[in-house]
Amino acid sequence: MLTKIPIAIDEVTDIQPAAFKSQYVDGHRPLIIRGGVSHWPAMQWNSNEYLLKIAGDQRVKVDVFPLSKQGKILLESGSEEVMSIKDFTMKFFQEDCYHYISDQNLPPPLYQDLNEHCVSSVFPVERRRTFWWGKNGQKSFLHYDDNENFMCQFDGEKAFLLFDITDFDYLYPKDETEYRSLADLEQHDSNQFPLLAKATPYVARISPGDVLYVPCYWWHQVKSFGRNIAVSYIINESMEQRVRVTGKLIEAGALPVSDSIRDDLLNIIGLDETPSRRNALLKKYHREYQQQQGKSYYPHSIFHRLIEENLLDILYGHATY
Ligand SMILES: O=C(O)CCC(=O)C(=O)O
């Protein structure tokens, strides 16, 4: 059970790119920009008729989730179907399952309805624009992404429960390669996931025209309300940001390796070698550890990415690749 009362994340109606970068991106903190995209033509996507006219024949992957007898979405039993947006709108009203266009590349005819957001210049390179179209009650797994996310809401509302990376140990990552939790925050057994009580939840609810910045590696579980359409801008996290995240883990005492491994890692880092040579030694150390122990000392792949590639940068202030 979550015992702590969720903290509302900051919100503004207007922010300059420099302030956004220094306080939120560099601060590694989420932010709601109310009305940040309310002037975009995509606000017209609240009409099926409009969307069918410009993109009805576009084919998209749709997640299909069955419902339990109690009407709960069975996330683990989802499957995927490819269909046109027109067919999707017809399935939308089916009562016995949920159809969700989630995290799909935005169909090209819809690009025309996007515009610049007020802090676009902070993220000059976007990796993808992904499309989300679902309905009331839709929800996601609790997970994190290794990218910056700029979620722009055009119809319906989304409620996010978020957790900082420093709570990683309390969030029950599924296994070392998956970025999602075993726990469902809405229906979990507190005996099965006792550490969740220690996590500090943050909450954000966005409405049409709002934008939510979710910094890379922040955990989130999302619930949708009403007919629900959004686009998220997926942006590669910068090297600088990864370094910051690792720094945050060290500061919080949450660098999840044992003291002896940590000392070994710091010893290797302290060697009078070039950064790339030291990085190669870290990798070799990790390989040998795996051979001896039959397992990785990284509890999760995120730490491989953060520690091995970035600890050097934190301590020495330069990139290793
Ligand atoms: O809106 C949703 O259903 C999930 C969004 C999400 O988890 C994400 O953008 O990473």
Would you state the pLDDT for residue 56?
97
**Nearest protein Cα to ligand 1, atom 2:** 222
Return the domain boundaries, the chain. Answer: 7-237, 240-316
Contact 174, 180 (CB under 8 A): yes
Ligand 1 center to 61 CA (angstroms): 15
Say how far apart CA 251 and CA 249 lie, in whole Å.
Answer: 5
Would you state the pLDDT for residue 33?
97
| Region of 28 on the Ramachandran plot (φ > 0 left; ψ -120 to 50 alpha; else beta) | left
pLDDT per residue rounded down to tens, the chain (321 residues): 677 899 999 999 999 999 999 999 999 999 999 999 999 999 999 999 999 999 999 999 999 988 888 777 888 888 999 999 999 999 887 778 889 999 899 999 999 999 988 788 898 777 789 999 999 988 899 999 989 999 999 999 999 999 999 898 899 888 777 789 999 888 767 788 999 999 999 999 999 999 999 999 999 999 999 999 999 999 988 877 877 887 787 777 766 677 888 788 778 877 787 767 777 888 888 889 889 988 887 777 777 777 666 665 555 554 443
Would you state the pLDDT for residue 151?
96
Give the nearest ligand 1 atom to 100 CA: 3
Residues sharing a CB contact under 8 Å with residue 14, sequence separation 6 or more, in sequence order: 33, 118
**Nearest protein Cα to ligand 1, atom 5:** 222
Would you state the pLDDT for residue 48?
96
Listing DSSP states for 218-266 in one string gives: -EEEEEEEEEEEEEEEEEEPPHHHHHHHHHHHHHTT---S-HHHHHHHH
Write out residues with Cβ below 6 Å of ligand 1. 102, 132, 138, 140, 145, 149, 151, 158, 220, 222, 224, 232
The fold of the 7-237 domain, in CATH, is Jelly Rolls (2.60.120)
Q: Provide the 8-state DSSP code for 112.
A: G
pTM, full prediction: 0.88
Ligand 1 center to 78 CA (angstroms): 16
Mutation to probe ligand 1, out of 99, 149, 205 (largest number of atoms < 8 A from CB): 149
Ligand 1 center to 206 CA (angstroms): 12
Say how far apart CA 74 and CA 80 lie, in whole Å.
Answer: 14
Residues sharing a CB contact under 8 Å with residue 170, sequence separation 6 or more, in sequence order: 163, 195, 196, 198, 199
Would you state the pLDDT for residue 315?
53
